Amino acid sequence: MEAREYHDAYSESLEADFQELESALLSDTVKILAPSEPIKCSADTTVHAAILQMMEKRRASVVIVDKEGRLRGIFTERDLLRRVAAPGRDPKTTPLGDVMTREPETLGPDTLIAYAINRLHNASYRTIPLVDAQGRPIGVMTVNDIVQWLAELFPEAILNAPPGGALKRPHDVDAG
């Protein structure tokens, strides 16, 4: 096969992949990502108690809800670093209400994936709570959910990746 023929076949395949991606971005909603069930805490839960739950369930965040179950905030690994560790606060005595991100931006389950990616990128979020019509958290969408969706959309591209991308420690997976 000549270089030109290979280039033409590759270009056609790439164009079809881009069309499939564009179609999925403009029709798929975040509910197909199967976002994780949120870990719900109250504002008076200590940071330490929240961290233990995050570690146990391998999650990057907890959501803070009021007595009616409505979202009031989110506490992420980034909040832990910036608002607890860096200033030297004691996680065992610091309540989430003092260090959470209040009234975070949210998405609904019918939000298009394209818009979710827009918010993750433009606002530099790694996690976004999903809420129902009453403002109660029903899931937490992460950047990892988007990566998983892309891998499922293009399994051949992922499975046929060139060698050299092996995990160095396949059993050591972080929460993110």
pLDDT in tens, the chain (176 residues): 455 554 555 566 667 777 878 888 888 999 999 888 999 999 999 999 999 999 999 999 999 999 999 999 999 999 999 999 999 999 999 999 999 999 999 999 999 999 999 999 999 999 999 999 999 999 999 999 999 998 888 777 666 666 665 555 555 655 55
pTM (predicted TM-score): 0.80
Measured in whole angstroms, the distance separating CA 59 from the mean position of its chain's CA atoms is 10
Q: Among residues 147, 110, 108, which one has the least CA distance to residue 128? A: 108
* pLDDT number for residue 22: 82
Walk me through the domains of the chain, giving residue ranges and CATH numbers. 25-159 (3.10.580.10)
